[in-house]
């Protein structure tokens, strides 16, 4: 356990410190997520337990789009001295990435389950309307962009909270721009968003599943996109698209997750627009 440390690439959620519980990673490629307070941790654990064994989940979907689940472990932490704290053990989906570029995008116009209690609904609804969730069907919860020269852009959460539609478009362009271009050249759009193993192809595969699956409704879950700025041109580019954060997953009860699906389609359109634009720029360039 000596090699446990806070993940370098964390862009949303609580960070681990002496005073705060937060996620940890190890050298074996595992990610330790402290059980969240209230019933959130229990619910997230219940989701992982149900999901990882569910016979109706296609193995390809589970493997491609969800972190692998390895049960729970009690871990001594500085924030809970003398009393080991329960953690959900998951695959570290960004393990092995030297220069991680990560975006955490919370999907869905509505982040509260329909049967949630009233004060929680009011709080979430206010946030969904203040951020881009209600308007776009998603919001950027966190982003970390590592450039080739070692420069890192890691905007404050307060900065991300205030962005509008144009701001979201800028972040999604900057995510695939070379760092010398002040974040606008979209030089990596074809490699990261486009192509067979790119973000767009992966999001479309996920969408096809969401058009059919009626098992789970993923309120307040995020899509985490990641790639290695040092290995973009490698085969496959190491582009990863995973769902994370399952503290508010409901049973689907035979109904599709129209809220997640709608937001996912909106994100797909934003990214497809950037790919198309970058492809036009490339073909009309010098």
Among 80, 83, 136, CA closest to 111: 136
Q: How many CB atoms lie within 10 A of CB 212?
A: 9
Distances from the Cα of 233 to the Cα of 95, 188, 226, angstroms: 18, 9, 14
User: Under the criterion CB under 8 A, does residue 134 sit at the interface with a copy of itself?
Assistant: yes
- Find the binding residues for a copy of itself in span 186-205 (CB under 8 A): none
Q: How far apart are CA 94 and CA 30, in angstroms?
A: 10
- Judge contact between 212 and 10, C-beta under 8 A: no
165 binds a copy of itself (CB under 8 A): yes
Under the binding rule (CB under 8 A), the answer on residue 125 touching a copy of itself is yes
Binding to a copy of itself by residue 58, rule CB under 8 A?
Answer: no
Is residue 123 close enough to count as binding a copy of itself by CB under 8 A? Answer: no
Rule CB under 8 A: say whether 258 interacts with a copy of itself.
Answer: yes
Beta bridge partners of 24: 32
Nearer to a copy of itself, 13 or 262 (CB): 262
Q: Is residue 129 near a copy of itself by the rule CB under 8 A?
A: yes
Residues 80 to 119 in contact with a copy of itself, rule: CB under 8 A? 109-110, 114
Least Cβ distance, residue 186 to a copy of itself (angstroms): 17
Q: Give the residue among 230, 24, 255, 83 at the shortest CA–CA distance from 147.
A: 230
Nearest residue to 221 (alpha-carbon basis) of 201, 241, 239, 204: 241
Residues that bind a copy of itself (CB under 8 A): 109-110, 114, 125, 129, 134-137, 165, 211-212, 214, 253-256, 258-259, 261-263, 265-266, 268-269
């Amino acid at each position: 356990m000596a090699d446990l440390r806070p993940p370098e690439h964390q862009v949303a959620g609580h960070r681990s410190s002496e005073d705060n519980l937060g996620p940890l990673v190890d050298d074996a490629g595992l990610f330790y997520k402290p059980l969240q307070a209230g019933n959130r941790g229990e619910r997230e654990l219940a989701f992982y337990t149900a999901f990882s064994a569910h016979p109706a989940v296609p193995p390809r979907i589970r493997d491609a789009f969800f972190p692998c689940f390895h049960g729970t472990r009690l871990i001594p932490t500085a924030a809970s001295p003398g009393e080991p704290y329960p953690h959900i053990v998951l695959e570290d989906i960004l393990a092995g990435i030297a220069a991680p570029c990560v975006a955490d995008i919370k999907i869905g116009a509505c982040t509260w389950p329909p049967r949630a209690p009233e004060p929680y609904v009011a709080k979430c609804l206010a946030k969904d309307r203040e951020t881009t969730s209600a308007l776009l069907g998603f919001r950027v919860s966190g982003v970390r962009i590592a450039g080739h020269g070692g420069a890192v852009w890691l905007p404050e959460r307060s900065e991300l909270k205030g962005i509008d539609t144009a701001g979201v478009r800028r972040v999604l362009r900057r995510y695939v721009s070379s760092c010398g271009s002040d974040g606008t050249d979209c030089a990596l759009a074809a490699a990261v968003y486009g192509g067979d193993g790119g973000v767009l192809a992966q999001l479309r595969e996920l969408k096809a599943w969401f058009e059919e699956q009626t098992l789970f409704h993923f309120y307040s879950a995020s899509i985490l996109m990641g790639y290695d700025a040092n290995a973009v041109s490698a085969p496959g580019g190491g582009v990863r698209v995973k769902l994370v954060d399952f503290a508010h997953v409901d049973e689907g009860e035979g109904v599709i997750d129209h809220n997640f699906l709608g937001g996912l389609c909106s994100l797909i359109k934003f990214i497809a627009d950037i790919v198309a634009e970058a492809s036009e720029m490339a073909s009309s360039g010098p």
